[in-house]
Structure 1
Amino acid sequence: MTTGIEIRHYTGGQSTELRPLLLEVYAEVYAAAALSDPFASPDRFAEGLDHWSARPGWSCVVGYDGEQPVGYAYGAPLPSGSRWWGGLLTDVPADVVAETGIRTFALSELMVREPWRKTGTARRLHDPLLTARREERATLLVDQDHPKVHALYESWGWTTLGGLRPRLDDAPLFHAMLLGLPVAP
């Protein structure tokens, strides 16, 4: 393992060729969780990946240590009328959750394989994904059972909007977070 991580960018047109790699890394990172949590199953993740990667504006960054993938981050803009905010448990003004299709980039996934955790790799994936975005803000969901992850995002400038439970079977309770864009390179 080195700290010289190379970041490679991908778009929706490359998602089919990238899919096996993303699924393989997910299966490794979430192997323990998938044993007891149906929301973490690889099949469910594959469905979500296919949904996200088919969206207009989908973007993904993959970090490599040599030719070894160390992790990735991906997301897409929220469409007008998005259901993203449908499970919000906190009252907020309607204009805060109004989507236009170009207002908010949803960071759907960010994961790092075990040997590269606590090396700054997550930030090395996060920043390049968001730096080039043209939306005014980004959003993500953090499982409320992971306070260290929540605190990490806060240290990167994310703020908590409120609690959110997606309208999906077996979905955990999340913190919905926002970050103003652009992110400084």
Structure 2
Amino acid sequence: MTTDIAIRHYTGAQAPSIRQVLLDVYAEVYAEPARTDPFASLDRFAEGLDGWSARPGWSCVIGYDGDQPVGYAYGAPLPEGARWWGGLLTDVPAGVTAETGIRTYALSELMVRTPWRKTGTARRLHSALLSPCREERATLLVDQNHPKVHALYESWGWRTLGELRPRLPDAPLFHAMLLPLPQASSY
């Protein structure tokens, strides 16, 4: 294991060629939760991956240590009228959840394999994924049972918008978070 990680960028057109890598890393990272939590199952993840990677504007970054994938991040812009905010349980000001198709980039997944954790790899993947974005802000969901992950995102500038439970079977309660991207001054 080194911290000399090469980051490669991918688009939706390349998703089929990297699908197995993404599934293999997920299966390793989420092996324990997948044993007992139906929401963390590999089949559910694979279905979600296929849905996300088919979205217009989907992008992915994978970090490699030599030929070993160490982790990845992916997401896509929220379309106009996105269902993303449908499970929001917190009252927010009018317009905060209005999507135009070019307003918000949703960071769907960010994960790093155990040997490369606490090396700065997650931050590098995060930055590599979001730096090319032209949207004014990004959003992500953090499971409320993971306060250390929530605190990490806060240390990177993310702010909690409220509680959200996706309208998916067995979905946990999440913190919905927002991050202004460089071209935006506020949200």
Q: Could you tell me which amino acid in structure 2 is paired with residue 134 of structure 1?
A: R
Deviation at 1:93, TM superposition (A): 1.7
Alignment partner, residue 181 of structure 1: 181
Distance in structure 1 (CA, Å) of the matches to 2:179 and 2:117: 23
Distance in structure 2 (CA, Å) of the matches to 1:65 and 1:124: 13
Distance in structure 1 (CA, Å) of the matches to 2:80 and 2:34: 32
Unaligned runs of 5+ in 1: none
3-state SS of 1:94 partner: coil
Alignment partner, residue 108 of structure 1: 108
Alignment partner, residue 23 of structure 1: 23
Distance in structure 2 (CA, Å) of the matches to 1:175 and 1:57: 24
Provide the TM-score with structure 1 as the length reference: 0.98
Alignment partner, residue 123 of structure 1: 123
RMSD between aligned alpha carbons?
A: 0.8
Distance in structure 1 (CA, Å) of the matches to 2:115 and 2:33: 18
1:60–1:74 Cα contact (<8 Å) kept? yes
3-state SS of 1:75 partner: strand
Where do 1:33-112 residues align within 5 Å?
33-112=33-112
3-state SS of 2:52 partner: helix
Distance in structure 1 (CA, Å) of the matches to 2:67 and 2:94: 46
3-state SS of 1:96 partner: coil
1:106–1:139 Cα contact (<8 Å) kept? yes
Unaligned runs of 5+ in 2: none
Q: Could you tell me which amino acid in structure 2 is paired with residue 18 of structure 1?
A: I
Identity %: 81
Over 3 Å off, 4+ runs: none
Distance in structure 2 (CA, Å) of the matches to 1:100 and 1:61: 25
Q: Could you tell me which amino acid in structure 2 is paired with residue 89 of structure 1?
A: L
